[in-house]
Copies of this chain bind each other. A is one copy, B any other.
Amino acid sequence: MKDRYEELKKKLAEIHDVHMARSILSWDQHTKMPPKAGEVRAEQLGTLDRIAHELFIDDDIGALLEELRPYEESHDYDSDEASLLRVTRREYAKATRVPSDLRAELTRAGAIALAAWVEARQKSDFAIFLPYLRRNVELQREYVACFPKAENDYDVLLDDFDEGMKTTEVRAVFDELKTELIPLIAEITERADTVDNACLTGHFPIDKQRAFALEVLEQLGYDHESWRLDPTIHPFAMSAATTDIRLTTRYEEGDMNSLMAAIHEFGHGFYEAGIDPRLERTPLSQVTSMSLHESQSRMWENLVGRSLPFWKHFYPKLQAAYPGQFDDVELDEFYRAINKVEPSLIRIEADEATYNLHIILRFELEQEILDGSLDLADLPEAWNARMTEYMGVDVPDDAHGVLQDVHWSGGAIGYFPTYSLGNVISVQLWDQVREAIPDLDQQFERGEFGELSSWLRENLHRNGRKFTSKETLERLVGGGIDSGPYLRYLKDKLGGIYGIRAETGAAV
């Protein structure tokens, strides 16, 4: 039985290698590839996906999984063996529903659409992207049709990013966020003058931004022997092994937003770097879900990187890095500036509160796109209308509207909600962290992040994909997803900054 298990593991290791090779090609495509190579790269990515898919849905793997049922049962639920078999069986049941041609075409079309999106975004012209988006959406519908009819078609797509998550559950959480956040943001907007963030614009040379980002990341746990940091249009993190972690960020001379993006991506990278090396080259050497993934990136970005204790340590270094820029800016003023709430156009530059409205907008539009109630040609108009409705801002052009995100170009529908679910989960976990490490703030003030890192590795990262989001939450917080802690945290923090009483939203 052990031999059969090893045989399965060997097959899965090769499939994992192909997935990781695909990740490198995709990373390369977004960071290094000469632009004209896009078309051939699309074929290469499609081929790798097809091969990984065909190797995986092979009958031999199905037979091994069946044969190994007693082996799974003879091992603890938490063991590597039982977990690998459980997770693989689930994936196998899904994958065998999808024809190889469709699998390859999803990838190929996405890679081709990426090039069109880059051009459309540069020219701020949605029409360039439209036919490619149509193709992506068609393919997503074909994909959905491979699965048994769900309560919502969207459930099928969500499941790929957060297993077992349902549209109705997401909607419930998002409705709670909307109910609380829209009035809170409106109230803050009235008091916009309370916080001045002029210090965040100026001249920030790109080499200095990179050097400072690396200085911060190294203190958080970035290691040059196993990590990279590269510039890109749309920041992302990717790993091809626990020893091969690649972060990206976007630099603009006029601001220092690259830092927050880098810390966000660090959160992703640190999760993947923390997976138990014993799980390397197995299907468990991945994160559990995108929601948990985002809980980590948003935690490092916001709960760590926008906190006062963090900046008590780093602010003098920041001041030194940009002579002149922050000379007359007190720490508290800077802290308020980086936490300013301001309805704006670009999701990845949004503050903690409005960020969720950006997500909710996408979540709602994605459902309408998928069920066909919104024609894709009308997408920019719908986008712009909802931006005005939720945040009171006017979208000047497609580049600052519907074309800003890379996700739909790659065909990823159902991904966006995980960002806000991640926000919500990040604070549920944070409450546990705070309980476990009472002097967390003092540690941050001393520039120490080791105890936080250890807690995250021990309780979350090392498990890789052994447990689902739901299982993980149940284990760590003893319950399901809950917007309560997150809303309390936001109202507390922003209430403090804007002088708003937490309970009623009334001014104090």
Beta-carbon contact of A244 and B33 below 8 Å:
yes
Beta-carbon contact of B228 and A35 below 8 Å:
no
Partner of A34, one of B35, B51, B244: B244
Distance in angstroms from A377 CB to nearest chain B CB is 31
Distance in angstroms from A402 CB to nearest chain B CB is 27
Beta-carbon contact of B43 and A281 below 8 Å:
yes
The reply to whether the CB of A351 lies closer than 8 angstroms to some CB of chain B is no
Q: Which of A227, A244, A245 has the most CB of B within 10 A?
A: A244
Beta-carbon contact of A34 and B281 below 8 Å:
no
Partner of A51, one of B13, B18, B20, B37: B18
Beta-carbon contact of A34 and B280 below 8 Å:
no
The reply to whether the CB of A279 lies closer than 8 angstroms to some CB of chain B is no
From 8 to 63 in chain A, residues with beta carbon under 8 angstroms from any chain B beta carbon are 13-14, 17-18, 20-22, 24-25, 28, 32-37, 39-41, 43-44, 46-48, 50-51, 55
The reply to whether the CB of A144 lies closer than 8 angstroms to some CB of chain B is no
Cβ–Cβ < 8 Å partners of A226 in chain B: 34-37
The reply to whether the CB of A224 lies closer than 8 angstroms to some CB of chain B is yes
Q: Which of A21, A32, A43, A51 has the most CB of B within 10 A?
A: A21
Q: Within the assembled complex, what's the spacing in Å between the Cα atoms of A221 and B484?
A: 61
7 new A-B contacts at CB < 8 Å, known A35-B226, A41-B244? A13-B43, A18-B51, A34-B226, A34-B243, A34-B245, A40-B240, A40-B241
Q: Within the assembled complex, what's the spacing in Å between the Cα atoms of A240 and B240?
A: 20
Which chain B residue shows the least CB distance to A52?
Answer: B51
Which chain B residue shows the least CB distance to A46?
Answer: B17
Which chain B residue shows the least CB distance to A281?
Answer: B43
30 contacts between A and B (CB under 8 A): A13-B43, A14-B47, A14-B50, A14-B51, A17-B43, A18-B47, A18-B48, A18-B51, A20-B40, A21-B44, A24-B24, A24-B25, A32-B32, A32-B228, A33-B244, A34-B224, A34-B226, A34-B243, A36-B243, A36-B244, A37-B244, A40-B240, A40-B241, A40-B244, A40-B281, A41-B244, A43-B281, A44-B240, A51-B51, A51-B55
Cβ–Cβ < 8 Å partners of A25 in chain B: 21, 24
Nearest 8 CB-CB pairings of A with B:
A37-B244, A17-B47, A40-B241, A36-B243, A36-B226, A17-B44, A36-B225, A37-B243
Cβ–Cβ < 8 Å partners of A32 in chain B: 32, 228
Beta-carbon contact of A17 and B48 below 8 Å:
yes
From 230 to 258 in chain A, residues with beta carbon under 8 angstroms from any chain B beta carbon are 240-241, 243-245
Beta-carbon contact of B24 and A28 below 8 Å:
yes
Distance in angstroms from A296 CB to nearest chain B CB is 20
Q: Report the interface size for chain A: residues with CB under 8 A from the other chain.
A: 39
Q: Within the assembled complex, what's the spacing in Å between the Cα atoms of A55 and B32?
A: 29
Cβ–Cβ < 8 Å partners of A21 in chain B: 21-22, 25, 44, 47-48
Distance in angstroms from A226 CB to nearest chain B CB is 5
Distance in angstroms from A233 CB to nearest chain B CB is 16
Distance in angstroms from A267 CB to nearest chain B CB is 18
Q: Within the assembled complex, what's the spacing in Å between the Cα atoms of A40 and B34?
A: 26
Which chain B residue shows the least CB distance to A243?
Answer: B36
Cβ–Cβ < 8 Å partners of A43 in chain B: 13, 17, 281
Cβ–Cβ < 8 Å partners of A241 in chain B: 37, 40-41
Beta-carbon contact of A40 and B243 below 8 Å:
yes
Cβ–Cβ < 8 Å partners of A225 in chain B: 34-36
Q: Within the assembled complex, what's the spacing in Å between the Cα atoms of A22 and B25?
A: 10
Distance in angstroms from A356 CB to nearest chain B CB is 34
Which chain B residue shows the least CB distance to A228?
Answer: B34
Beta-carbon contact of A44 and B28 below 8 Å:
no
Binary contact track A60-87/B, C-beta < 8 Å → 1, others 0: 0000000000000000000000000000
Cβ–Cβ < 8 Å partners of A227 in chain B: 34
Cβ–Cβ < 8 Å partners of A41 in chain B: 240-241, 244
Q: Within the assembled complex, what's the spacing in Å between the Cα atoms of A240 and B24?
A: 13
Which chain B residue shows the least CB distance to A34?
Answer: B226
From 212 to 226 in chain A, residues with beta carbon under 8 angstroms from any chain B beta carbon are 224-226
Cβ–Cβ < 8 Å partners of A18 in chain B: 47-48, 51
Distance in angstroms from A128 CB to nearest chain B CB is 18
Q: Within the assembled complex, what's the spacing in Å between the Cα atoms of A33 and B226?
A: 8
Cβ–Cβ < 8 Å partners of A28 in chain B: 24, 28
Distance in angstroms from A129 CB to nearest chain B CB is 20
